[in-house]
Amino acid sequence: MREPARTLIEQATGTRVTASRPLSGGCIGEVYRISAADGRDLVAKVGGPGSGLALEGRMLRHLEAHGAPVPSVLHADDHLLLMTWVDSGDGLGPKVQDHAAHVIAALHDNAGPAFGFEYDTVIGGLHQPNPTTDRWIPFFRDHRLLYMAGEAARAGRLPPAYLRRLEALAAQLDAFLDEPDQPSLLHGDLWTGNVLAHHGRLSGLIDPAIYWGHPEIELAFSTLFGTFNDVFFNRYHELRPIQPGFFETRLDLYNLYPLLVHVRLFGAGYLGGVDRTLRRMGF
């Protein structure tokens, strides 16, 4: 660990760093597991201006205040995000899947005042707009689907023909989507790497992209890279019934958003998924 980072951590904790080792996941900055002289194990993300670490800390604190199992934030600015260590390392086996359903259902039980959020957030390091919106479908259309399609197109990674097809679908979303009973608190980026497990339980959620939205977009995202399976969905359905048509139609439609995030970040390798969904929907 570089000496400036060590100094920042020691100033924030008021104790000496006795050991550190780098961790994976440092796409924004460097990440370390820290052993402190007072016996605590911590995680430190070290960045700089524009790193988004202060925003990440703010989102984690919001989730913790609403009962989600997340690392506790000890310090957060754009130079340093310091959090408690969360034990992990287990796979997402059946016991974890079952427990995760309880955790995510409880998260989604938090009802918000409107769709969007009190501030904009990020997903995969990309800006995620959250203007307050009374209805879900216009929010998803304008600030998720069309927004990210536009960002991918401006970056030269979404061909114009794809953009036109997405715009045609967006104009008819009312035919495919439903309004939820209430806005729910979403983690926003539920892929496997952001779900920590230990001793058969979900031990922590990390790297959030929070907002108030429809729980179905979160459930859909969790299938994109195989995070949650039938054990999870069966238990979640018992706790919060999933409406008919989700698995048949709406799951793929909602996954257009994270697919477009990946198109914007990584390019043409994710266009096939966008194309398949658009064809299935008749566009």
Catalytically annotated residues = 189
Q: 110: how many CB neighbours lie within 10 A of its CB?
A: 18
Spatial separation of the C-alpha atoms in residues 274 and 240, rounded to whole Å: 29
Burial class (CB in 10 A: 0-12, 13-18, 19+), 279: exposed
Q: Over the range 208-225, which residues count as b (16 or more CB within 10 Å of their CB) and which as e?
A: bbbbbbbbbbbbbbbbbe
Q: Residue 160's closest CA among 281, 271, 85?
A: 271
- The 3 state secondary structure assigned to 100-121 is HHHHHHHHHCCECCCEECCCCE
Residue 116, phi-psi category: left (phi > 0), alpha (psi -120 to 50), beta (remainder): left
Q: Residue 186's closest CA among 104, 67, 99, 102?
A: 104
Distances (CA, A) of 5 to 64, 79, 80, 153, 171: 26, 9, 8, 38, 49
Q: Are 196 and 88 in contact (CB under 8 A)?
A: yes
List beta partners, residue 187: none
